[in-house]
Amino acid sequence: MSDKDLRINEQIRVREVRLIRDDGEQQQGILSTLEALQIAKEQGLDLVEVAPNAVPPVVKILDYGKFKFENEKKVRDSKKKQKLLKLKEIRMQPKIDEHDLDFKSKHVRGFLGEGNKVKVTVRFRGREMVHTELGLDVLKDVLKRIEGEYVLDKAPAMEGRFMSMVLSPKSKK
């Protein structure tokens, strides 16, 4: 439940609520909303609806500003721990030179080392479309050069004028 869904103080429009303390223990039991709001005001805190679907709805007396800040902090921390996978693409042609193939393979190895997925694509132009087996040979050659550092997600396949395969980094255990 996000902070936007929570109702506080006068926004709570039910007759009765179940009041609990900040530590989660039941404080007063079931009270009228006005009584619960009065108790919260006396303590200088807010009345926050934490379980609106319960019968009666559950409310807590707490400092709403602090509560909201703590929740936002948790969300920020969880986003920091996420690893975004990017898909990098390396393009080449079937008539690629040995040195260029080494260079491109080194880039593929680097991208995999950073934890990114890599799409290796061979583009066919004009009469090259007749010899798609040359493109397959190029892709197999790339796989030989980066031996043991990848997991093949998508085997080499033709997509229009392109033959491509997708590699992901080998998971470290």
Do the Cβ atoms of 123 and 141 come closer than 8 Å? no
**DSSP category for residue 13:** -
Return the closest-CA partner of residue 61 out of 31, 98, 102: 31
Return the closest-CA partner of residue 18 out of 35, 1, 3, 4: 35
Residue 92: the pLDDT is 93
Per-residue pLDDT 10s for the chain (173 aa) are 555 567 777 778 788 888 886 665 666 677 788 888 888 888 888 888 877 788 888 888 888 888 888 888 888 888 877 777 788 899 999 999 999 999 999 999 998 888 889 999 999 998 888 888 999 999 999 889 888 878 888 899 998 999 999 998 887 64
- As a whole number of angstroms, the distance between CA 87 and CA 81 comes to 19
Which tokens is 31 given?
């009270």
- As a whole number of angstroms, the distance between CA 64 and CA 66 comes to 5
Q: Is the pTM of this model over 0.75?
A: no
Residue 163: the pLDDT is 92
Residue 24: the pLDDT is 58
Q: Which residues pair with 29 in a beta bridge?
A: 19
Residue 173: the pLDDT is 47
